[in-house]
Structure 1
Amino acid sequence: MARFLQLTDLHVVNEGALASGVLDTRNLLRTAIDRLQELRPALAPLDAVLVSGDISDDGSIESYAFARTELNRLGLPLYVVPGNHDARGPMRAAFADLPEMPKMGLIDWVADVGNTRVVGLDTLVEGRGGGQLRDESLDMLHHALEAAGSGPVIIMLHHPPIQTGIRFMDAIGLENAHALEMILVDVHNPVTLVAGHVHGIHHGRLGHHHVATAPSTCSGFAMDRRTEAPTGFFRGPTGCAVIDTNPGGIWSAVPLKPADGPFPF
């Protein structure tokens, strides 16, 4: 088995700026890493950190440098994919030393952590909110799964291949989730697809495979299925996730705001 920490939707900006004019995402990330360091004994052992996109909010070189410095504080191997707010060039430069980072093109990769095959898929369409998987990404995934043996597989992408009911986010979701489903239809490994983008915890299925989205480190979206639901974000709840690829396949949400307790029953 392997155990992963999943962080997503950091939305880091340049120093002195606020994401969407409201969120001090640099301080929020710094505080999140501080909190995770406090939680390490409770979460250990951790094998790696998965970062499922929107590392930057503005695509700036400075924002990626700050995010990389903070993520390095965790002292764990990093695996990253881009989100719709990211820019491949600056992101690739900031993480160029990662063994899995492609030198050019899409940021797709395969890594083996313990007995778990991890596949990162690039869904970024620069200049658009919605995501798409290209044929080369799907081909790479197909070959990675063929060579995975019978062990557990994690597929990480930014745009979730499920509909959450949050209409304004589903409108900029993954355009070709069906193509991904077709690649996985005959795969019998224990597969978990993990994503971000929707700033909250949602579980679903793509065919017979489990899909989970993690909370953001900086903001949240209300679960509001009304047609007239307001568009916008909230300052919380924030969090991250821990994924165990043991036979039980546990996915756990981790709130980042400390709570009082524990109190005796």
Structure 2
Amino acid sequence: MGATTIDIRLLGPFQVRVGGSPVVLTSSRQRALLATLALAAGRLVSIDALARGVWGETPPAHIRGSLQTYVMRLRRLCGEDVVVTEPEGYRLVVDPSRVDALRFLRALDQAAATSDPAQRRALLTAALATWGGTPLEGVGSPALAAEWEPLLTERHLFAVEQRIDLDTGLVPDARLVAELTDLVAQHPLRESLWERLVRALARSGRRAEALARYAGLRALLADELGVEPGEDLRR
């Protein structure tokens, strides 16, 4: 028999598939353990790092014994060969391409490395198709969320902005306006999204609406942060 194939979804609701079939981990500790191992994708994760991911700042008195118990249960659910014991910790036997968060980051790195706009657009589109919502939703690890959610969310938003820039002139401005309107509603203090929305409105002949949006942002920034819009928006 071949090695067990495991797929782990962390971009949105936590999901695990083993050999193509869904596996439900009812324990938040098990989910946190698997997510911590998955984000290292085949590399050793130390006992201390696993303890932080699983228990945060309140680990049990006997960390190694507790981890052994959770690893044993994880092997029963996902396959005996999925988790390898090392002298200093544990390692998940998984290809990084089968962890959606790592596949997402790799595609973004590939997009950044290419100088061809069409190829970059294709890579960004493929990466963004992986996104399923709030990272690590349902994992149950505040420590992992604090470390990974801001990074993944920022990379996602930056990728969306890059793809919108590459879409400009290729897709109707009305479609970009609709997308950007949703985005600024979700991220009202992100000026770079507002800038793209105002410019898309202006390009589509909706100058009055563009000015109204700018005025609304100016008031919002003054109320929330006590600042004026950046120079790029004021131009």
Higher strand share: 1
Instruction: Give the TM-score taking structure 2 as reference length.
Output: 0.28
Whose radius of gyration is greater, 1 or 2? Answer: 2
Higher helix share: 2
Instruction: Give the TM-score taking structure 1 as reference length.
Output: 0.25
